[in-house]
Amino acid sequence: MKRTLPLILAMITGFIVLISDFIPHWPFGMITSEIEKWFLIISGFALILGQINLIKVNVNKIRFKAEGWQYFIITIASFAIMVLFGALWGTQSNVGLLGNGTKIVEVIGSKPFDYLFDNVYQHLQATMFSLLAFFIASAAYRAFIARTPESNLLLIAAILVMLGNTSLGSFLTGWLPENLDFLHLPNVSQFIMKYPTTAGQRAIMIGAGLGLIGSSLRIILGIERSYLGGN
């Protein structure tokens, strides 16, 4: 019963949603709208579940002194500070439990939550993303080696797209006459992106789409049961 009931529920729900796509009228359309509302409510709880899980995982790592456990203290502390500041003085558009923190705003220029978001969180995130530039440069130096005909193709395409996707491409081949416009680097880059890349990407998307249909059907028909836990 523990497994059968969820399987039956999944099957009925799956079929109703599937049918409502073809027959969006009563009762299927109405039921699907309700199911959508339930989904949104459950998703909200999933956020809370995620936060509880974050605390649980990190607290356990600190308690059992896992490798680098000191870093997990920072995670918990950062989480607690943001939640506390958000709850007490609110955010830019929301009032907190202690009001808007007018006196604090006079000193630091914004609410504590927004201050930390603008001056710490944003910059830390942007820094993480920006570091990619260094790793990509180092990886490109090691990986783009013309060893085989295939790697030659990859190398040439990469260089053309890299040049074409920057102002440098326009600068280097901007002098070309109109009848040689197809050799203009931004045009070459666009051609590569529009045809070979898109063709390859479409093949992947069609494959993934078919896979999605297959696994959805397996779930609806009760063949795929891993989402219930266990084997």
Partner 1 sequence: MAAKSIDRRWIYLFIFLGVAFPLIFVIGLPIEITENTQMAYDLIDNTPAGSHVLYSFDYDPASMPELHPMAKAMVRHSIEKKHKIIFTALWPMGVQMIDDIMEQLSTEYPDLVYGEDYVNLGFKVGGIVTIQAMGKNFRSVFPTDANGKKIDKLPIMNNIENYNNISYICSFSAGAPGIKEWVQIGNDVYKRPVTGGVTGVSAPSILPYVNEQKQLTGLLAGLKAAAEYEKLIGAPALATAGMDAQSLAHLIIIIFIVIGNINYWRNKKKKGDK
Residue ranges in contact with partner 1 by CB under 8 A: 33, 36-37, 39-40, 43-44, 46-47, 91-94, 117-118, 121-122, 125-126, 128-130, 133-134, 136-138, 140-142, 144-147, 155, 158-159, 162-163, 165-168, 170-171, 174, 186, 190, 193-194, 197-198, 201-202, 205
Closest CB to partner 1 among residues 61, 96: 96
CB of 35 to partner 1, least distance (A): 9
Asked if 90 contacts 111 with a C-beta cutoff of 8 angstroms, the reply is yes
Give the integer Cα–Cα distance in Å for 225 and 11: 11
Shortest separation between residue 185's beta carbon and partner 1, angstroms:
10
Q: How far is the CB of 209 from partner 1 (least distance, A)?
A: 11
CA gap 190, 46 in Å, rounded: 41
* CB 59 to partner 1: min, Å: 23
Q: Which is nearer to partner 1, 11 or 155 (CB)?
A: 155
Give the residue with the Cβ less far from partner 1, 66 or 87: 87
**C-alpha dihedral, 37 to 40 to 44 to 50, nearest 10°:** 140
CB of 155 to partner 1, least distance (A): 7
Smallest separation (angstroms) from partner 1 to the CB of 25: 13
Tokens describing residue 146: 């013309």
Give the residue carrying structure tokens 């051609």.
191
Which CB sits closer to partner 1, 33 or 60?
Answer: 33
Which residues, in sequence order, are bridge partners of residue 96?
Answer: 99
Nearer to partner 1, 174 or 214 (CB): 174
68: left (phi over 0), alpha (psi -120 to 50) or beta: left
Among residues 19 and 62, whose Cβ is nearest to partner 1? 19
Tokens of 145: 């080696």
User: CA 231, CA 220: separation in Å to the nearest integer?
Assistant: 17
State the DSSP string of 192-229. HIIIIIHHHHHHHHHHHHHHHHHHHHHHHTT---GGGS
